[in-house]
Amino acid sequence: MPCRRSPMRRAVMLACAALAAFASAAPGAPSAGDSTLGDPLRDELPGRESIASLRHALDTPDAQSRWRGLPQFGRDLFRGADQQFTPIENTPVGPDYVLGPGDNLVVFVSGLTDTSFSLTLDREGKVFLPRSGATFLWGLRFADGETLIKARIASVLKNARVQVSMGRVRALETFVLGAVERPGKYTLTGMATAFHAVSAAGGPSALGSLRDIRVLRGEREVARLDLYRFLTHGDRSHDVRLEAGDVVFVGLTRSQVGIQGAVVRPGVYESDGPLSLRSLMELAGGATPFADLARIRVERVDANGGFRIQDLPLDHGHGVDPDSLTLSNYDLVTVLPLRERVQNVVTLDGYVRHPGEYELSPGLTLAQLAGRDRLLPEAELDHAELRRVDPATFAVEVRPFSVRRLWAGEGDVTLRPMDAVTIFSGARFPRSISLEGEVLHPGTYTFAAGERLSDILKRAGGLTPQGWLAGAAFVRLSTRRQEDRVLRDFVKRQRIALAEQQAQVAQSGDSASATALIRAQADLVAALQERSDPGRIVLDLDEPGRWMNTARDPVLEDGDRFKVPVRPVTVTVVGSVMNPGTVMAVRGRGVGEYLRMAGGPAREADVGRSYVLRANGEALPRRARLRIEPGDAIVVPPRPVSTGGLGRGLAGGARFLMELSAAGALVFAAARR
């Protein structure tokens, strides 16, 4: 039996959907790209550092959070060591390689006849040479073994040339123990060193030391490896080759000290004994040029429990000696960055050859900064600005000045730090309007300030015989931007209203009505986004020209567009009629005759609220003697159904969408003609 959802569950689901829609339409929700949330001078707002410090003081530090994300120095050397490590087999053998049981040698002898043979060191470390007998090679370097073999063969074969090369390198078993990722027994080659053995075991564990790696042979320690020497200086002198049965033991980390801030290599460092502040700074690569050595902060473990902070000056040798300050386990050193600002700087921007910051040399004047060789040819010489910041109050004072007078030796001043000079442009770019459609000479025309539409039409030769002035479309960029702002606010309000209605419907459990509201909201947004000719201004232009040089003749703005369509011969009927469409215009007919030509009003039509939309964008309510002109549109809206508050909301939204779609279709058709 299928499971049925209860009305209460459906209501809860619909209410959640309504709240989500309401949240998406909330006007106060900040966006991710809202530039007003950031401070213009600093990335962080004042007070955040105090809050972070308070939280840090109330937290209980532990071993994991102590270092605040600082990397462990040298640990990335063994990252992925289990996948990257491969035994060394085919690497060339150097002359210092020590021979041992299992090593294989290949001997080439050339003389009267050429021959070659292979020699393998047995358990006793000896090989058998033809006609020479047993030869002990165990413990000899490869170069010494090669010399011995040549000498033994030369004693029995005169004038023979002997060459010795290394064949297969012996395998040896070693033990890697202590604080490593995978302790155990490993089979390595005779060329392996202690570092190779630790790598084969995955490297030191989180508790393992990088500075205490010992090689034990028998009952004695033959080498101690400090990887810090290798990481900081490339020194592998203590990385000895292993022998069969050797034990590589990695000890525990004894002491760790962290350093952060303005140093070259921040991180957590391990100490193998007493570590001074100077030694830690050297391990970290030293201080950066932006370090403020006047104050070094040391956060250390208090002997009585907890943590305490010490501020130590190191600047210019007048503070604490970094050699005498010994750090303890889990100390955290912070080298603070400089907060000093550039003092000897002034700014020159605007219409200059090289805008930006300039050095404030002693005695630099305004005339020297704004010299002839620094300004562009179109720079305005009679109007510029000097902005001066008071270093005590940071109040900004704006002083207008004339560059021309400066060059004449008048009004020159000495510049101060943080002064800024702006040079404006003296060029005046032409303003233009675009004439399109049925104009005798269409194109883009420039105009002077104060010119009107009629002036440009006269210069363009007027209209063609087919031009229809009453239906012309006049589009303005500034009006379009204003309409976009109003439209965004309107859509936001409509979304909020529909979300509120959706929440009310969700409480009643009417899922069908809620779905209709969601669809109405989507249709509303789509219809508003597809509107045609945004920025159009309704003009009342008559054919005889009585509108010229009157209030109906608009003063032009840059970017205006004026399009004259062909004189129409049709009338459009849209909305709640039986057969919406376009019919031929007949002089003298009224709204009623055109409605009858469209099949009459539909059952849901609200004839009393019908209106006429002129081709120039003007909307007129229906009147008994309203004259219908070619190019007009008759819009018949639907009548709301009496179904309560929800029905009025749905019907109102549908009626608005229908009227808006009809008006948009008509304006688009008129502009296309």
Mean pLDDT, rounded, of the chain:
80
| Closest to 225 in 3D by CA, of 244, 245, 246 | 246
- Can you say how many angstroms the Cα of residue 159 is from the centroid of all Cα atoms in its chain? 76
Confidence of residue 666 (pLDDT cuts 50, 70, 90): low
Q: What is the pLDDT of residue 395?
A: 92
Res 394 pLDDT > 90: no
The predicted model gives 464-481 an average pLDDT of: 88
Nearest CA to 197 out of 116, 343, 78 is that of 78
State which of 425, 454, 475 marks the end of a domain.
425
Q: Using the predicted structure, report yes or no on whether residue 46 has a pLDDT greater than 70.
A: no
Decide if pLDDT at 662 tops 80. no
Same domain, 594 and 659: yes
Of 308, 309, 296, which Cα lies nearest the Cα of 335?
296
What pTM was computed for the model? 0.51
Assigned domain for 472 exists: no
Structure tokens at 550: 């009157």
Both tokens assigned to 417:
């730090």
Please tell me whether residues 304 and 214 are part of one structural domain. Answer: no
In a domain, 290, yes or no: yes
CA dihedral in degrees (483, 485, 490, 496; nearest 10)? 160
At 584, phi and psi to the nearest 5?
A: -70, 140
Show which of 425, 459, 483 is a domain's final residue: 425
Q: Alpha-carbon distance 371 to 388, whole Å? A: 19
| Residue 127, strand partner residues | 135
Does 417 lie in the same domain as 357? yes
Phi, psi of 652 (to 5 degrees): -65, -45
Residues spanned by the domain of 176 = 171-252
State the total domains in the chain. 5
Same domain, 632 and 605: yes
Q: Please identify, among 310, 337, 364, the residue that sits at the C-terminal boundary of a domain.
A: 337
Verify that 384 and 396 share a domain, yes or no: yes
CATH of the domain at 117: 3.30.1950.10
Taken as a whole, the chain contains a residue count of 673
* Mean pLDDT in residue range 624-629: 76
238 vs 40, residue with greater confidence: 238
CATH no. for residue 397? 3.10.560.10
Q: How confident is the model at residue 308 (pLDDT cuts 50, 70, 90)?
A: confident
Secondary structure, 3-state, 120-184: ECCCCCEEEECCCEEEECCCCEHHHHHHHHHHHHHCCCCCCEEEEEECCCCEEEEEEEECECCCE
Transcribe 446-502 into DSSP letters: EE-TT-BHHHHHHHTT-B-TTB-GGG-EEE-HHHHHHHHHHHHHHHHHHHHHHHHHH
